[in-house]
Amino acid sequence: MEAGTVIGSSVERKEAWDKVTGVAKYTDDFIVPGILHAKLLTSPYAHAVIKSIDAAQAIKSPGVKAIITGSDFPILCGVVLEDHPPVATDKVRYFGEPVAIVVANSEREAMHAVKLIKVAYEPLPVVGSVGDAVKSHAPLIHENLAAYKHAVKGIYPEPNTNIADRISIRKGNMPEGWALSEVVAEAVFKLPKSDHIAMETRNARAEIHADGEVLISTSSQSPYSVKKMLSQYFSIDEGKVNVKTPLVGGGFGGKSPVQLELLAYMASKSVGGRLVKIANSREEDIVTSPCKLGLEARIKLGASRSGLLKAAEMTFLVDTGAYADIGPRLAKSIAIDCTGPYNIDNVWCDSLCVYTNHPYSTSFRSFGHVSYTFCIERAIDKLAKMLGMDPLEFRLRNALGPGQTTPTQVKTTLSNLGNLTACLKKLKHDIKWYEGAVIEAGNGKIRAKGISCLWKTSDSPTDSVSGIFLTFNTDGSINLNSGVVEIGPGMKTTLAQILAEKMKMDLSRIHIKLEVDTQVSPEHWKTVASMTTFMAGRATLRAAEDLMKQLRSLAALVMRCPPEDLDIAEEKVFLKQDPTIYVAFKDLVHGYKYPNGNAVEGQILGRGSFIMSHITQLDKETGKGKPGPAWTVGAQAVEVEFDKTELTYRILKACTVLDAGKVINPKTARGLITGGMSMGLGMGSREAFQYDSEGRVLNTSLRTYKVMHIGEEPEYIVDFVETPQIDAPYGARGISEHGIIGMPAALANALSAASGAELDELPITPEYIWKIKGGQA
């Protein structure tokens, strides 16, 4: 790769060959003789009082070192609301909740002993949906809701209800909006919980040294949160907790909460600090560890006869499951972007975070956006249909543009928003919209297209940080050290690209440390929210500036010229007016040595730090405030072939046009977007938790919980618009999550058009279409 052309090039990820040779190591690949194994006993009930736990027989079982129950560590955890005992204490609130931990010499002995623990339960009425949960007199899942400590500001649990938080958006004047609305569409939508299904199940290890140092290794997107939370919950000096994360086998948000790390610590603590590992089985990864939120929504949209959106009223009930985890922030994330990227002056939205007796929810790719987008985009299609307007034209007419405002009343600019109109126009061409949305294909088949717009901003904490350290090798090559976790999107390679471009040097001369060690790597808040390129990229640019300043200053001394006469490229500091006069990096970076042996300056060390600026909390009454630095907008389409008799379908094409700001690595960008689209099509067509009448999840294995397989993928079309985000590295916007956002909606719009049925629930299985169409044999 030639220096200075690396941004915009499809460079291979740095760890590519490690990943095709089996050399790449993930947390559980470090085989340590003598490691102890922790296994969980989990709840067979969705809601029950724990009457007693009898571990007498289990503790005597061969190889067993310790058995831990909730009362051994009576703490409450939670990243927003501290409502969650790591091991259930007085009652269980979901099927699969940890009730006891067995620590044994071998996995086999631990598994055997788990079965010997006897727990007496007294079942309680199960709250099986958010709709039921918000009814008055619904059974309470958290009786002490009012007493829970708030881990953050701006959260409003409603005592003696199942409502953990409520976010309100009040923009404009609703009576005025409805008065201007000549056509109104209203509908309710339901989306089930589903799971991340990262191929590597969550797992963690803990060891406590004699001096009190706690060593954790974990498959996590948030090693720095692990450190802070362990320190806080167990009163350990933060500097004594060190967390290591090697390569991670997929995250999708599911590895950003802290769960198994706490259990591993508790397990190690109970065996005198010995090294203990805990690894989820797939079944545990699906139900015991947190999943994707469920959602029920009521949307009412109004427009003028001429097709301009005038008013939106929406209620979202986020199914956070048994514990709040990040659920209140998911409800907030939905609220801040609730309208989709459309210009609506009058908006009323209540987004509630609601407890149920389902497995608990955490962040999932797009942080709630894929879920509410399904609702709003289905409603948009319904309204377009009532208006007799082409759904794409209707979206074009209402696309949010510069100088307008978002639901939280942020004024939009081309830089902070991007260009949705350009995306829609490209989409129209790429998906061949002119063919028509519905075409008879013969043989009892119909081909149909559906579209969806998308947008997303980050909703990260207002003080999120990222840092970069750069060191030189004596040959002039650079080592890049960042707290970003390599979970799959190749972010460390992206950072290396940003650095190579800035330093105008060869990418192969930049070495990255893939593993994160919180003691060594500067903090990167969390590897989430598609914010890595923005935050760590900005930190990288600053670290590069820091290096270049030092290089110029030392070279000026050596070359006896003012620093401003010097430029840097190809690992040289050279005279602008005569580039043949230069000093090579290798002669500067570990101190410059004069011919007589005198040396000056030492190693050149670069540092770069970044913190979010101008982000605000939302006003409690109106929701007014700035949630994130900028948005990424896009438009998507799906084309299906629908069998009118069997009500089955194939997905033929799926298209995304995204305003990426700047595409840093085209093949990687395409892969991230199609990967998100694939996951979105899975969510749209098949993925859902299924429960029995007692709230137990029935499909806890990959044999019954189905994800997309090869051969089911459509032809993918990915296209970009590049409207730079001025404050982002090379103008690049976040893109890692966005492929998923509009896919279920576009699929549902296509299938609703094809089947003539209003498909307002997910997933859209042939059986669901059959049911909506009357359910006749």
Partner 1 sequence: MIPFNFDYYRPDTLEEATRAYRELDSRSLEPVYYSGGSEIISMARVHNIYTKAVIDLKAIPECNVLEFREDRLFIGSSVTLSRISEENPYPLLSKACSRIADHTMQCRITIGGNLGGTIIYREASLPLLLSDCEVIVTSSGSLSRVPLAEVFRERLLLPRGEFIVQFVIRKEYAAVPYVHVKKTRNEKIDYPLVSVAALKKDGRIRLALSGVCPFPFRSADIEDRLNDMNDSWGIRIDKALEYLPAPILNDISGSNGYRKFVLKNTLLNTLRTLEAMH
Partner 2 sequence: MLKIEGKSIIQLDINGEIRETPVHPSDVLLYTLREELGLTGAKPGCENGDCGACTVLVDGWPVKACLMLSVEAIGHKITTVEGLNNATIQKAFVENWGFQCGYCTSGFLMVCHSLAYNHPNADEYVMEEWLQSNICRCTSYEEIRKAVNSVLMPASKG
Residues 324, 313: Cα–Cα separation, whole Å? 25
Question: Residue 16 or residue 49: which is nearer to partner 2 going by CB?
Answer: 16
Instruction: Decide if 550 contacts 596 (C-beta within 8 A).
Output: no
CA 37 from chain centre, in angstroms, equals 29
CA–CA dist 332, 367 (Å, integer): 10
- Given the rule CB under 8 A, which of 140-148, 174-182, 613-621, 641-649 is the region that contacts partner 1? 641-649
Per-residue burial over 58-95, b if 16 or more Cβ lie within 10 Å, else e, is: beebebbbbbbbbeebebbbbbbbbbbbbbbbebbbbb
DSSP 433-481: GGG-SEEEEETTEEEEEEEEEEEE-----TT-EEEEEEEE-TTS-EEEE
Residues 528, 305: Cα–Cα separation, whole Å: 42
Query: Considering only CA atoms, which of 709, 679, 83, 769 is closest in space to residue 369?
Result: 679
Residue 706 CB, shortest distance to partner 1, in Å, is 4
CA distances to 10, 190, 450, 637, 748 from 753, in Å: 38, 19, 8, 13, 8
Query: Contacts with partner 2 in 650-669 (CB under 8 A)?
Result: 667-668
Partner residues linked to 164 by β-bridges = none
Q: Is 704 in the site for partner 1 (CB under 8 A)?
A: yes
- Asked if residue 652 binds partner 1 (CB under 8 A), the reply is no
Phi/psi at 203 (nearest 5 deg)? -155, 155
CA dihedral 138, 144, 149, 153 (to 10 degrees): 30
By the rule CB under 8 A, 686 interacts with partner 1: yes
Our finding on whether 35 is near partner 1 (CB under 8 A) is no
Retrieve residue 198's tokens. 């990262």
- The answer to the question of residue 31 lying near partner 1 (CB under 8 A) is no
CB-CB neighbours of 12 under 10 Å: 14
**Minimum distance between the CB of residue 755 and partner 1, rounded to whole angstroms?**
14
For partner 1, which residue of 430, 706, 713, 758 counts as binding (CB under 8 A)?
706
**Does 107 interact with partner 1 (rule: CB under 8 A)?**
yes
Contact 319, 361 (CB under 8 A): yes
Q: What is the 3-state secondary structure (H, E, C) of 657-710?
A: EEECCCCCCHHHHHHHHHHHHHHHHHHHHCCCCCECCCCCECCCCCCCCCCCCC
**Binding flags for partner 2, 272-301, as an x/- string (CB under 8 A):** -------x-xx-------------------
Does residue 708 belong to the site contacting partner 2 (CB under 8 A)?
A: yes
CA-to-CA distance for 176 and 165, rounded, in angstroms?
A: 29
Closer by beta carbon to partner 1, 479 or else 648: 648
Q: Which is nearer to partner 1, 617 or 765 (CB)?
A: 765
CB neighbourhood size of 57 (10 A): 12
Q: Smallest gap, in angstroms, from Cβ of residue 634 to partner 2?
A: 16
Segment holding 208, helix H or strand E = strand 203-208
Binding-site member from 26, 592, 716, 770 for partner 1 (CB under 8 A): 770
Among 140, 308, 652, 702, binds partner 2 (CB under 8 A): 702
Residue whose CB is less far from partner 1, 437 or 708: 708
Which residue lies nearer to partner 2 by CB, 466 or 527?
A: 527
711: contact with partner 1 by CB under 8 A = yes
Of 186 and 767, CB closest to partner 1: 767
- Only segment of 194-202, 543-551, 642-650, 657-665 that touches partner 1 (CB under 8 A): 642-650
- Smallest gap from residue 514 Cβ to partner 2 (A): 11
Give least dist CB 690 to partner 1, A. Answer: 5
Binding mask 207-246 for partner 2 (x = CB under 8 A): ----------------------------------------
- Contact letters for partner 2, residues 678-697 (x by CB under 8 A): xx------------------
- Asked whether position 115 contacts partner 1 by CB under 8 A, the answer is yes
- Whole-angstrom distance, CA of residue 475 vs CA of residue 509: 9
The reply to whether 776 sits near partner 1 by the rule CB under 8 A is: yes
| Residue 581 · residue 450 · CB < 8 Å | no
Q: Which of residues 25-44 bind partner 2 (CB under 8 A)?
A: 25-26, 28-29, 31
- Tell me, rounded to whole angstroms, the distance of Cα 486 from its chain centroid: 14
How many CB atoms sit inside 10 A of residue 724's CB?
17
Q: Least Å distance between CB 277 and partner 1?
A: 13
Which positions touch partner 2 (CB under 8 A)?
10, 12, 15-26, 28-29, 31, 108, 196-201, 247-252, 279, 281-282, 487-490, 667-668, 670-672, 674-675, 677-679, 701-703, 707-711, 713, 716
Give the interface with partner 1 as residue ranges (CB under 8 A): 107-108, 111-112, 115, 283, 645-646, 648, 685-686, 690, 698-699, 704, 706, 709, 711-712, 765-767, 770-771, 775-777
